[in-house]
Structure 1
């Protein structure tokens, strides 16, 4: 492959991921009625990771965490966004997402394609310190958004305290400190009447 062909592959990927900006999430921006898109979400998580890295349970390679967070939802270009509390569709790695990862990252030159598929798969597996901390960011941001929006999607989709605790407790795998903080916010949300218990 020539240097020019190598560059064309990279630019093709850059064009393709622009579509992430059009994928709307259920959660809304802080103190807003506008839905967040996947690009805004990924950017916000990457900044959060940089700021909150000191609270990770274990030392992390922050560049790898940032890479994970910037690319983790790229597969939604093909697979679509699945709401965390969806009662029908499972919010876990699916065959559709794996195929999407292979197609989208496959636009890159081979070495980069392998690297980014591996980083995406590492995030999905959530077993390394980096993946656990990245996943903690992914679960913390919507929690903060919903609180800022007086219950947000919790109220809109009748999400219960038990469901929130069940999904958000993943935070503790990446940061016990941030989980204690999140748990406090969740309990305060029940007291304020913006999250229903039982």
Structure 2
């Protein structure tokens, strides 16, 4: 029996296990332990499943979940870039594109092509699915930082303007969730856990 495709798929599965070792700057809810990329991706997928009814328009939920499960796989090679990093842009880079080609390229051609296209769609932020997926990606760290009394905002000197600017993209995927997020941001200033 021919196992070529299965062997490629197993190699991909083994490779993406490395995502569990990529630490993010944000910490788990009410915790001092850094979240890893695998935990982050799983949490976002579950958030999308629960919150999809708040999307600005009806979205293809399976596609959104696929985006969220794979969006950070490139960080196996490229590493995690902190959203508030002043030195390196948080936008898609050539380094990430090479990582996508290498990692998804472990899969059989048809699957590799599909997942690269979904990853690119998320990065380009033009479709309703990508916009809602990005809303989830920006909401989770906000919830984490508010649960940790400012968390990485305090740790790295991030102010209100930076947080507000980065989080505003949430409204492109969900105005309802953005209203909630905006309220959290403003309450964070009132509580003294985010500086103006």
Query: The residue matched to 1:143 in structure 2 has which SS?
Result: helix
Gaps of 5+ in 1: none
Work out the CA distance in 1 between the residues paired with 2:111 and 2:127. 21
Residue in structure 1 matched with residue 30 of structure 2 by the alignment = 31
Residue in structure 2 matched with residue 93 of structure 1 by the alignment = 92
Residue in structure 1 matched with residue 142 of structure 2 by the alignment = 143
Work out the CA distance in 2 between the residues paired with 1:101 and 1:170. 24
Aligned residues between the structures: 196
- CA RMSD in angstroms, aligned pairs only: 0.6
Residue in structure 2 matched with residue 175 of structure 1 by the alignment = 174
Query: The residue matched to 1:26 in structure 2 has which SS?
Result: strand
Residue in structure 2 matched with residue 45 of structure 1 by the alignment = 44
Aligned-residue offset at 1:120: 0.2
Residue in structure 1 matched with residue 189 of structure 2 by the alignment = 190
**Residue deviations 1:43-78, cap 9 Å, x none?**
000000000000000110000000000000000000
State the TM-score, normalizing by the size of structure 2: 0.99
**Residue deviations 1:102-154, cap 9 Å, x none?**
00000000000000000000000011000000000000000000000000000
Query: The residue matched to 1:107 in structure 2 has which SS?
Result: coil
Pair 77,31 (structure 1): closer, same or farther in 2 beyond 3 Å? same
Work out the CA distance in 2 between the residues paired with 1:9 and 1:185. 44
Residue in structure 2 matched with residue 81 of structure 1 by the alignment = 80
State the TM-score, normalizing by the size of structure 1: 0.98
Residue in structure 1 matched with residue 61 of structure 2 by the alignment = 62
Query: The residue matched to 2:129 in structure 1 has which SS?
Result: helix
Residue in structure 2 matched with residue 7 of structure 1 by the alignment = 6
**Superposition misfits of 4+ residues, deviation over 4 angstroms:** none
Residue in structure 2 matched with residue 71 of structure 1 by the alignment = 70
Query: The residue matched to 1:25 in structure 2 has which SS?
Result: strand
Work out the CA distance in 2 between the residues paired with 1:60 and 1:191. 35
Aligned-residue offset at 1:3: 3.8
